[in-house]
Chains A and B, each alone.
Chain A
Amino acid sequence: MKIMQCPLNGPRNISEFVYGGQVEPMPDPQQCSDKDWASYVFYDNNAIGIVREWWQHAPSSYWFIAERHNASDDILRTYDPGELFSERVDFTTGENEP
């Protein structure tokens, strides 16, 4: 069984984790094009190397960030997203748009 280090809960079986996509800067959903938003939501950079990814420890619903080599599948580091994000991201609804 592959083991992943959860920053909150410690080492756990990989079956307890859910992949959440690559960590990328979010474009402004009110200003960017549909193509840019679709690229952000649906597409990943698939080049071989170390990638920074969102993962969730499902039993505790805890989201964190992992750095993983996508060829060897070695998990190099996991850490709390507070290291990268200091503020909650809130969304405007865009209700006034036509």
Chain B
Amino acid sequence: MTSNLVSPLRCLTSNDDDRSGSLKLRDLSLATRSGVRGVHASQWLKSESLPHELQPNTIEALPDHRLLMALSTREFWLLDPDNPSGDTEPTFERTKPGVWPLYNQNSHAWLVLSGEPRADMLAKLCGVDLRSKAFPLGTVAQTQMALVSTIIAHHLWRGEPVFSLFIDQSLTDFAWEALQDAMAEFNTTR
């Protein structure tokens, strides 16, 4: 019996075809990310010369092409999609009481979905309206996708609007398969 499962950790794309508008799913789980949480997390970001006034559920590009994502007033993730992770230690370390590092390098897989019909495709799996009118660039939704808790961030990557999907590592195989199944409808030749 053969398996159709595709590992999300092999940095595979869903489709090598570069037709305009086609959906692509990439695995960025090996890219660098870290985070902090705590009542003083915002002040700590300020001490690191990072933006510290982000509204919850927003994401902002930094001048060095990293991304800063605010999940609440007390939790922030720093994402570096073009920099492979060199180790498993979080970039942020505990610096003072009220600020704790998040081990999101290990806790969450990172998938990136691109292509024009990405919102229409995710509508098959997610109840949140992800069309650009309701979910513009710079916004984040913490919700469920295929009944799996997922953080969805809408941002630019290499000049292209994409959705970053952060999923519990242990559920990534299932989510990957569900996404591939949903994408098949949109990537067929008409």
Q: Could you tell me which A residues sit within 8 Å of B by CB distance?
A: 1, 8-9, 12-13, 15-16, 57-60, 62
A75 to B143, CA, bound (A): 20
**Is the Cβ of A59 less than 8 Å from the Cβ of B127?**
no
Q: Across the interface, name the chain B residue whose C-beta is closest to A60.
A: B142
Q: Across the interface, name the chain A residue whose C-beta is closest to B57.
A: A9
Which residues of the other chain, B, contact A57 by a CB distance below 8 angstroms? Answer: 142
Query: Is B117 part of the contact surface with A, judged by Cβ < 8 Å?
Result: no
Q: Could you tell me which B residues sit within 8 Å of A by CB distance?
A: 56-57, 71-72, 127-128, 141-144, 147, 149-151
User: Whole-angstrom distance from the CB of B142 to the nearest CB of chain A?
Assistant: 4
Which residues of the other chain, B, contact A12 by a CB distance below 8 angstroms? Answer: 127-128, 143
Q: What 5 A-B pairs have minimum CB-CB distances, sorted nearest first?
A: A60-B142, A59-B149, A59-B142, A13-B127, A59-B143
A12 to B141, CA, bound (A): 10
Is chain A's binding surface mostly helix, strand, loop or mixed? Answer: mixed
**Is the Cβ of A13 less than 8 Å from the Cβ of B72?**
no
Q: What are 14 of the A-B contact pairs (CB < 8 Å)?
A: A9-B143, A12-B127, A12-B128, A13-B127, A13-B144, A15-B144, A16-B143, A16-B144, A57-B142, A59-B142, A59-B144, A59-B150, A59-B151, A62-B72
A59 to B56, CA, bound (A): 14
> Given A59-B149, A59-B150 in contact, is the A9-B127 Cβ separation under 8 Å?
no
A9 to B75, CA, bound (A): 14
**Is the Cβ of B71 less than 8 Å from the Cβ of A60?**
yes
Which residues of the other chain, A, contact B144 by a CB distance below 8 angstroms? Answer: 13, 15-16, 59
Which residues of the other chain, A, contact B128 by a CB distance below 8 angstroms? Answer: 12
| Seed contacts A13-B144, A15-B147; 16 additional CB < 8 Å A-B pairs | A1-B127, A8-B57, A8-B72, A9-B57, A9-B141, A9-B142, A9-B143, A12-B127, A12-B128, A12-B143, A15-B144, A16-B143, A16-B144, A59-B144, A59-B150, A62-B142
Which residues of the other chain, A, contact B141 by a CB distance below 8 angstroms? Answer: 9
A16 to B57, CA, bound (A): 17
